[in-house]
Chains A and B, each alone.
Chain A
Amino acid sequence: SAVISQKPSRDICQRGTSLTIQCQVDSQVTMMFWYRQQPGQSLTLIATANQGSEATYESGFVIDKFPISRPNLTFSTLTVSNMSPEDSSIYLCSAVETTMLYGYTFGSGTRLTVV
């Protein structure tokens, strides 16, 4: 199955700044997804990253706050912009290939703390 390398694993950021999280997949995948997860809680989908087109955002999430790039079939970034303490969370990326032979693969997550 695909393996995802997610960076950084954690960061502490000042409010008002931006952080870009990267996910590199070791094989070509059809779809990539970005989630937010509060510790001990479920995953909330932020957006679906489409290769060659705009990301599809879920209700409550906007492109200005969470711009996403998907330049090719193995890489995606999520930027958390103009951060506030409310953005402190775990951010995970996920990927799936067309056949879904191996199901959905997840990165190891980025723990973000905004101070």
Chain B
Amino acid sequence: AQTVTQSQPEMSVQEAETVTLSCTYDTSESDYYLFWYKQPPSRQMILVIRQEAYKQQNATENRFSVNFQKAAKSFSLKISDSQLGDAAMYFCAYRSQQTGANSKLTFGKGITLSVRP
């Protein structure tokens, strides 16, 4: 079974600075998807960024980018120019390439990010 590990329970960043959130995973599969989700106090899960394992290029979405190291099974999220609205819980998630019930997401424990004004 796949596992996702987020070893840092909390992080803090100064507004306008850059922060990196770590995530590692364990799988025997060669094709899969990786995601970062943001959950603010409103509880709404918001997709931040996704990465297909077959793509060598790291995904980027505006201020958010990932460092995907397939051999090391590492998938870190970098937030540039941090804003107060970035404060939330962030979850790393894995999805198999398989279909049906195996298309479920496996989540890490999450990390709480606070942004200091």
User: Chain A residues in contact with chain B, CB under 8 A?
Assistant: 30-31, 33, 40-43, 45, 48, 50, 56, 90, 92, 94, 96, 100, 102-104, 106, 108-109, 111
Decide yes or no: A40 and B44 within 8 Å by CB, A94-B105, A100-B33 being known contacts: no
Chain B residues within an 8 Å CB radius of A106: 44-45
B68 contacts partner chain A, Cβ-Cβ < 8 Å: no
The stretch from B17-25, B69-77, B106-114 touching chain A is: B106-114
Contacts A42-B108, A43-B107, A48-B104 given; 16 further ones with Cβ under 8 A?
A: A31-B103, A31-B104, A42-B91, A43-B91, A43-B105, A45-B105, A48-B101, A50-B100, A92-B45, A100-B33, A103-B35, A103-B47, A104-B47, A104-B105, A108-B44, A109-B44
Which residue of A40, A43, A96, A109 is within 8 Å of B103 (Cβ)?
Answer: A96
- Name the residue of chain A whose CB is nearest to the CB of B6: A42
Minimal Cβ-Cβ distance residue in A for B41: A39
User: B residues engaging A (CB < 8 A)?
Assistant: 33, 35, 42-45, 47, 50, 89, 91, 95, 100-101, 103-105, 107-110, 112
Q: Is the CB of B104 within 8 A of A41?
A: no
Q: How far is the CA of A43 from the CA of B35 in the complex (A)?
A: 14
Closest to B103 in A: A31
User: Is B110's CB under 8 angstroms from A42's CB?
Assistant: yes
Once A42-B91, A100-B33 are accepted as A-B contacts, the answer to whether A50 and B47 lie under 8 Å apart by CB is no
Is there an interface contact between A103 and B45, defined as CB atoms closer than 8 Å? no
| Residues in chain A near residue B89, CB distance under 8 A | 40
Contact at B109–A45, with CB atoms within 8 Å?
Answer: no
With contact pairs A40-B89, A42-B91, A50-B101 given, residues A109 and B110 touching in the complex (Cβ less than 8 Å)? no
